[in-house]
Amino acid sequence: MRSVFDLIRRVAPTETSVLILGESGTGKEKVAQSIHHMSSRKDKPLVIINCGAIPDNLSESLLFGHEKGAFTGAVDKRIGKFELADGGTIFLDEIGEMPMELQVKLLRVLQEKEIERIGGQSPVRIDVRIIAATNRNLEEEVAAGKFRLDLYYRLHVFPITVPSLRERKEDIPDLASHFLKLYAIPDRKGLSVSSGVLQQFDFYDWPGNIRELEHVIQRGILLSEGNTIKEIQLPSLHKKEKAEGETYSIKTIHENERDYISYILKKCKGKVSGVGGAAEVLNIPPSTLNSKIKKLGIKNNFFG
Protein backbone atom coordinates (compact mmCIF):
# COMPACT_ATOMS: atom_id res chain seq x y z
CA MET A 1 0.00 0.00 0.00
CA ARG A 2 2.95 2.36 0.52
CA SER A 3 3.74 2.07 -3.19
CA VAL A 4 0.07 2.79 -3.99
CA PHE A 5 0.14 5.90 -1.81
CA ASP A 6 3.38 7.00 -3.48
CA LEU A 7 1.82 6.61 -6.95
CA ILE A 8 -1.21 8.65 -5.83
CA ARG A 9 1.03 11.47 -4.59
CA ARG A 10 3.02 11.47 -7.83
CA VAL A 11 0.10 11.50 -10.27
CA ALA A 12 -2.43 13.64 -8.36
CA PRO A 13 -0.93 17.09 -9.21
CA THR A 14 -0.75 16.26 -12.93
CA GLU A 15 -3.43 16.07 -15.63
CA THR A 16 -2.56 12.46 -16.51
CA SER A 17 -5.34 9.93 -17.01
CA VAL A 18 -5.28 7.14 -14.41
CA LEU A 19 -6.47 3.53 -14.63
CA ILE A 20 -7.08 1.89 -11.25
CA LEU A 21 -6.94 -1.90 -11.29
CA GLY A 22 -7.98 -4.35 -8.60
CA GLU A 23 -10.60 -6.78 -7.39
CA SER A 24 -14.05 -5.66 -6.27
CA GLY A 25 -14.07 -4.22 -2.77
CA THR A 26 -10.40 -3.20 -2.64
CA GLY A 27 -11.12 0.54 -2.46
CA LYS A 28 -10.59 1.71 -6.04
CA GLU A 29 -13.11 4.54 -5.59
CA LYS A 30 -11.20 5.73 -2.51
CA VAL A 31 -8.05 5.93 -4.63
CA ALA A 32 -9.89 8.01 -7.24
CA GLN A 33 -11.21 10.34 -4.54
CA SER A 34 -7.71 10.77 -3.12
CA ILE A 35 -6.28 11.65 -6.54
CA HIS A 36 -9.02 14.23 -7.11
CA HIS A 37 -8.73 15.83 -3.66
CA MET A 38 -4.94 16.10 -3.96
CA SER A 39 -5.15 17.71 -7.42
CA SER A 40 -5.61 21.31 -8.56
CA ARG A 41 -9.19 20.32 -9.48
CA LYS A 42 -10.17 19.60 -5.86
CA ASP A 43 -12.57 22.57 -5.71
CA LYS A 44 -14.38 21.40 -8.84
CA PRO A 45 -16.80 18.43 -9.10
CA LEU A 46 -15.81 14.78 -8.89
CA VAL A 47 -18.50 13.01 -10.91
CA ILE A 48 -18.73 9.24 -10.42
CA ILE A 49 -20.24 7.03 -13.11
CA ASN A 50 -20.81 3.30 -12.65
CA CYS A 51 -20.43 2.06 -16.22
CA GLY A 52 -22.05 -1.27 -15.39
CA ALA A 53 -25.26 0.40 -14.22
CA ILE A 54 -25.94 2.72 -17.18
CA PRO A 55 -29.26 1.83 -18.91
CA ASP A 56 -28.63 1.16 -22.61
CA ASN A 57 -31.47 3.39 -23.76
CA LEU A 58 -30.30 6.35 -21.64
CA SER A 59 -26.52 5.96 -21.82
CA GLU A 60 -25.74 8.72 -24.32
CA SER A 61 -28.19 11.16 -22.72
CA LEU A 62 -26.85 10.41 -19.25
CA LEU A 63 -23.23 11.00 -20.23
CA PHE A 64 -23.51 13.79 -22.78
CA GLY A 65 -26.95 15.34 -22.21
CA HIS A 66 -29.73 16.25 -24.65
CA GLU A 67 -31.64 19.25 -25.89
CA LYS A 68 -35.34 19.79 -25.30
CA GLY A 69 -37.37 17.86 -27.89
CA ALA A 70 -34.38 15.79 -29.05
CA PHE A 71 -36.46 12.61 -28.73
CA THR A 72 -39.79 11.43 -27.39
CA GLY A 73 -39.90 12.21 -23.69
CA ALA A 74 -37.17 14.87 -23.79
CA VAL A 75 -39.41 17.57 -22.33
CA ASP A 76 -36.49 19.57 -20.91
CA LYS A 77 -32.85 20.23 -21.68
CA ARG A 78 -30.54 17.89 -19.77
CA ILE A 79 -26.89 18.49 -18.88
CA GLY A 80 -24.85 15.27 -19.07
CA LYS A 81 -22.33 13.94 -16.56
CA PHE A 82 -19.32 15.06 -18.58
CA GLU A 83 -20.58 18.61 -18.78
CA LEU A 84 -21.38 18.61 -15.05
CA ALA A 85 -17.76 17.62 -14.37
CA ASP A 86 -16.32 20.48 -16.43
CA GLY A 87 -13.19 21.74 -14.70
CA GLY A 88 -13.17 18.70 -12.43
CA THR A 89 -12.77 14.94 -12.64
CA ILE A 90 -14.81 12.11 -14.15
CA PHE A 91 -14.44 8.72 -12.42
CA LEU A 92 -15.53 5.91 -14.74
CA ASP A 93 -16.00 2.97 -12.39
CA GLU A 94 -16.10 -0.56 -13.87
CA ILE A 95 -15.04 0.76 -17.28
CA GLY A 96 -14.66 -2.83 -18.48
CA GLU A 97 -18.45 -3.20 -18.47
CA MET A 98 -19.08 -0.27 -20.82
CA PRO A 99 -20.83 -1.39 -24.06
CA MET A 100 -18.75 -1.21 -27.24
CA GLU A 101 -20.97 1.40 -28.91
CA LEU A 102 -20.54 3.70 -25.92
CA GLN A 103 -16.77 3.08 -25.91
CA VAL A 104 -16.61 4.62 -29.40
CA LYS A 105 -18.32 7.80 -28.19
CA LEU A 106 -16.13 7.97 -25.10
CA LEU A 107 -12.99 7.66 -27.22
CA ARG A 108 -14.06 10.62 -29.33
CA VAL A 109 -14.65 12.72 -26.20
CA LEU A 110 -11.16 11.87 -24.93
CA GLN A 111 -9.59 12.72 -28.28
CA GLU A 112 -11.51 15.89 -29.12
CA LYS A 113 -12.18 17.14 -25.56
CA GLU A 114 -15.72 18.03 -26.53
CA ILE A 115 -19.16 16.46 -26.31
CA GLU A 116 -22.33 16.74 -28.35
CA ARG A 117 -25.70 16.78 -26.66
CA ILE A 118 -28.35 14.68 -28.37
CA GLY A 119 -30.22 17.08 -30.65
CA GLY A 120 -27.54 19.74 -30.23
CA GLN A 121 -26.41 21.94 -33.12
CA SER A 122 -22.77 22.33 -32.13
CA PRO A 123 -20.17 20.58 -29.91
CA VAL A 124 -19.51 21.75 -26.35
CA ARG A 125 -15.91 22.07 -25.16
CA ILE A 126 -15.17 20.40 -21.85
CA ASP A 127 -12.18 20.25 -19.53
CA VAL A 128 -12.23 17.07 -17.48
CA ARG A 129 -9.66 14.70 -16.08
CA ILE A 130 -10.38 11.01 -16.60
CA ILE A 131 -9.89 8.39 -13.91
CA ALA A 132 -11.14 4.90 -14.73
CA ALA A 133 -11.28 1.68 -12.73
CA THR A 134 -11.98 -1.97 -13.41
CA ASN A 135 -11.81 -5.37 -11.77
CA ARG A 136 -11.42 -7.01 -15.18
CA ASN A 137 -8.28 -7.83 -17.14
CA LEU A 138 -8.65 -5.32 -19.95
CA GLU A 139 -5.95 -6.95 -22.05
CA GLU A 140 -8.02 -10.14 -22.06
CA GLU A 141 -11.15 -8.13 -22.83
CA VAL A 142 -9.35 -6.54 -25.81
CA ALA A 143 -8.23 -9.95 -27.05
CA ALA A 144 -11.82 -11.22 -26.75
CA GLY A 145 -13.11 -8.25 -28.77
CA LYS A 146 -15.05 -6.81 -25.82
CA PHE A 147 -12.95 -3.68 -25.28
CA ARG A 148 -11.44 -1.30 -27.83
CA LEU A 149 -7.65 -1.37 -28.07
CA ASP A 150 -7.43 2.35 -28.84
CA LEU A 151 -9.51 3.20 -25.77
CA TYR A 152 -7.37 0.88 -23.64
CA TYR A 153 -4.24 2.80 -24.67
CA ARG A 154 -5.98 6.11 -23.95
CA LEU A 155 -6.80 4.99 -20.40
CA HIS A 156 -3.73 2.90 -19.60
CA VAL A 157 -1.41 5.89 -19.20
CA PHE A 158 -0.75 5.63 -15.47
CA PRO A 159 -2.02 2.32 -14.00
CA ILE A 160 -2.34 1.85 -10.24
CA THR A 161 -2.99 -1.68 -8.98
CA VAL A 162 -4.72 -1.89 -5.59
CA PRO A 163 -3.79 -5.13 -3.78
CA SER A 164 -6.42 -7.53 -2.48
CA LEU A 165 -6.99 -7.80 1.27
CA ARG A 166 -5.48 -11.31 1.37
CA GLU A 167 -2.23 -9.75 0.09
CA ARG A 168 -2.16 -7.19 2.91
CA LYS A 169 -3.50 -9.06 5.94
CA GLU A 170 -1.16 -7.13 8.23
CA ASP A 171 -3.51 -4.15 7.65
CA ILE A 172 -6.60 -6.00 8.92
CA PRO A 173 -6.28 -4.90 12.61
CA ASP A 174 -6.04 -1.22 11.60
CA LEU A 175 -8.91 -1.54 9.12
CA ALA A 176 -11.04 -3.35 11.70
CA SER A 177 -10.31 -0.60 14.24
CA HIS A 178 -11.37 2.03 11.69
CA PHE A 179 -14.69 0.29 11.00
CA LEU A 180 -15.31 -0.22 14.72
CA LYS A 181 -15.09 3.54 15.21
CA LEU A 182 -17.12 4.24 12.07
CA TYR A 183 -20.07 2.06 13.09
CA ALA A 184 -19.81 2.43 16.86
CA ILE A 185 -23.14 2.53 18.69
CA PRO A 186 -23.46 5.71 20.84
CA ASP A 187 -23.72 3.88 24.20
CA ARG A 188 -20.81 1.50 23.44
CA LYS A 189 -17.47 3.26 23.33
CA GLY A 190 -14.01 1.73 22.91
CA LEU A 191 -15.12 -1.25 20.85
CA SER A 192 -12.53 -3.92 20.01
CA VAL A 193 -12.28 -7.43 18.59
CA SER A 194 -10.77 -10.37 20.48
CA SER A 195 -7.48 -11.99 19.51
CA GLY A 196 -9.42 -15.08 18.49
CA VAL A 197 -11.52 -13.11 16.03
CA LEU A 198 -8.39 -11.47 14.62
CA GLN A 199 -6.94 -14.94 14.05
CA GLN A 200 -10.12 -15.94 12.25
CA PHE A 201 -9.66 -12.90 10.06
CA ASP A 202 -6.07 -13.95 9.33
CA PHE A 203 -7.12 -17.46 8.25
CA TYR A 204 -9.83 -16.19 5.90
CA ASP A 205 -9.13 -15.31 2.24
CA TRP A 206 -11.54 -12.32 2.00
CA PRO A 207 -12.94 -12.78 -1.52
CA GLY A 208 -15.00 -9.60 -0.97
CA ASN A 209 -11.91 -7.70 0.24
CA ILE A 210 -12.22 -4.54 2.39
CA ARG A 211 -15.92 -4.14 1.61
CA GLU A 212 -16.55 -7.62 3.04
CA LEU A 213 -14.49 -6.83 6.17
CA GLU A 214 -16.50 -3.64 6.63
CA HIS A 215 -19.79 -5.55 6.51
CA VAL A 216 -18.48 -8.28 8.83
CA ILE A 217 -17.46 -5.69 11.44
CA GLN A 218 -20.76 -3.82 11.10
CA ARG A 219 -22.71 -7.06 11.60
CA GLY A 220 -20.44 -8.10 14.50
CA ILE A 221 -21.15 -4.84 16.36
CA LEU A 222 -24.90 -5.36 16.06
CA LEU A 223 -24.82 -9.02 17.14
CA SER A 224 -22.35 -8.75 20.02
CA GLU A 225 -22.81 -7.57 23.58
CA GLY A 226 -20.33 -5.54 25.58
CA ASN A 227 -17.33 -3.72 24.15
CA THR A 228 -15.45 -6.72 22.75
CA ILE A 229 -16.53 -8.72 19.71
CA LYS A 230 -15.70 -12.29 20.67
CA GLU A 231 -17.48 -14.16 17.91
CA ILE A 232 -17.77 -13.53 14.18
CA GLN A 233 -19.67 -15.54 11.60
CA LEU A 234 -17.59 -15.96 8.44
CA PRO A 235 -18.44 -17.97 5.32
CA SER A 236 -16.61 -21.27 4.91
CA LEU A 237 -12.96 -20.77 4.03
CA HIS A 238 -12.65 -19.42 0.51
CA LYS A 239 -10.99 -21.97 -1.74
CA LYS A 240 -9.46 -21.35 -5.15
CA GLU A 241 -11.07 -23.11 -8.08
CA LYS A 242 -9.22 -26.18 -9.32
CA ALA A 243 -7.37 -26.00 -12.60
CA GLU A 244 -9.10 -27.42 -15.61
CA GLY A 245 -8.65 -31.19 -15.83
CA GLU A 246 -7.69 -31.56 -12.16
CA THR A 247 -9.67 -34.28 -10.47
CA TYR A 248 -11.36 -33.95 -7.11
CA SER A 249 -13.64 -35.96 -4.87
CA ILE A 250 -16.56 -34.93 -2.72
CA LYS A 251 -15.65 -35.23 0.95
CA THR A 252 -17.91 -36.26 3.78
CA ILE A 253 -18.81 -33.87 6.62
CA HIS A 254 -16.36 -35.69 8.93
CA GLU A 255 -13.56 -35.47 6.36
CA ASN A 256 -14.14 -31.75 5.91
CA GLU A 257 -14.21 -31.24 9.69
CA ARG A 258 -10.98 -33.22 10.09
CA ASP A 259 -9.23 -31.20 7.37
CA TYR A 260 -10.42 -27.90 8.81
CA ILE A 261 -9.33 -28.72 12.37
CA SER A 262 -5.96 -29.94 11.04
CA TYR A 263 -5.58 -26.67 9.15
CA ILE A 264 -6.35 -24.58 12.26
CA LEU A 265 -3.96 -26.65 14.41
CA LYS A 266 -1.20 -26.08 11.88
CA LYS A 267 -1.85 -22.33 11.88
CA CYS A 268 -1.76 -22.32 15.70
CA LYS A 269 1.46 -24.38 15.71
CA GLY A 270 -0.26 -27.23 17.53
CA LYS A 271 -1.52 -25.10 20.42
CA VAL A 272 -4.95 -26.39 21.50
CA SER A 273 -6.00 -24.23 24.46
CA GLY A 274 -5.26 -20.78 25.83
CA VAL A 275 -4.93 -17.43 24.07
CA GLY A 276 -4.29 -17.94 20.38
CA GLY A 277 -5.03 -21.64 20.61
CA ALA A 278 -7.07 -23.63 18.11
CA ALA A 279 -10.00 -23.96 20.53
CA GLU A 280 -10.27 -20.17 20.80
CA VAL A 281 -10.15 -19.77 17.01
CA LEU A 282 -12.79 -22.47 16.52
CA ASN A 283 -14.82 -21.01 19.42
CA ILE A 284 -15.24 -24.38 21.18
CA PRO A 285 -14.04 -25.63 24.61
CA PRO A 286 -10.56 -27.22 24.61
CA SER A 287 -12.05 -30.47 25.97
CA THR A 288 -14.41 -30.63 22.98
CA LEU A 289 -11.55 -30.00 20.58
CA ASN A 290 -9.40 -32.72 22.19
CA SER A 291 -12.33 -35.11 21.87
CA LYS A 292 -12.74 -34.28 18.18
CA ILE A 293 -8.99 -34.68 17.58
CA LYS A 294 -9.14 -38.16 19.07
CA LYS A 295 -12.41 -39.14 17.37
CA LEU A 296 -11.32 -37.94 13.91
CA GLY A 297 -7.84 -39.44 14.18
CA ILE A 298 -6.06 -36.11 13.77
CA LYS A 299 -2.31 -36.15 14.35
CA ASN A 300 -1.01 -33.05 16.06
CA ASN A 301 2.49 -33.11 14.58
CA PHE A 302 3.70 -30.27 16.74
CA PHE A 303 2.97 -32.19 19.94
CA GLY A 304 3.36 -35.74 18.68
pLDDT tens digits, one per residue of 176-193: 999 999 988 887 778 899
Bridge partner list, 159: 19
Q: Cα–Cα distance between 153 and 107 in angstroms, integer? A: 10
The gap from C-alpha 98 to its chain's centroid, in whole angstroms, comes to 18
The gap from C-alpha 210 to its chain's centroid, in whole angstroms, comes to 6
Q: Cα–Cα distance between 293 and 191 in angstroms, integer? A: 34
Q: Which CATH number fits domain 2-163: 3.90.79.10, 3.40.50.300, 3.10.20.30, 3.30.1490.20?
A: 3.40.50.300
Bridge partner list, 124: 115
* 244 exposure class (CB count in 10 Å sphere: 0-12, 13-18, 19+): exposed
pLDDT score of 257: 73
**Highest CATH level, class, for 166-229:** mainly alpha
pLDDT score of 253: 59
pLDDT score of 240: 43
Closest CA to 99 of 140, 44, 60: 60
Low-confidence ranges of the chain (pLDDT < 50): 237, 239-250, 304
pLDDT score of 147: 93
pLDDT score of 201: 93
pLDDT score of 36: 98
pLDDT score of 239: 42
Q: Phi and psi (nearest 5°) for 93?
A: -80, 145
The string of DSSP codes covering 123-186 is: -EE---EEEEEESS-HHHHHHTTSS-HHHHHHHTTEEEEPPPGGG-GGGHHHHHHHHHHHT--T
pLDDT score of 45: 95
pLDDT per residue over 104-129, tens digit each?
989 999 999 998 888 878 889 999 99
pLDDT score of 118: 82
Q: Cα–Cα distance between 225 and 227 in angstroms, integer? A: 7
| Residue ranges of domains in the chain | 2-163, 166-229, 253-295
Bridge partner list, 47: 90
pLDDT score of 247: 42
pLDDT score of 144: 92
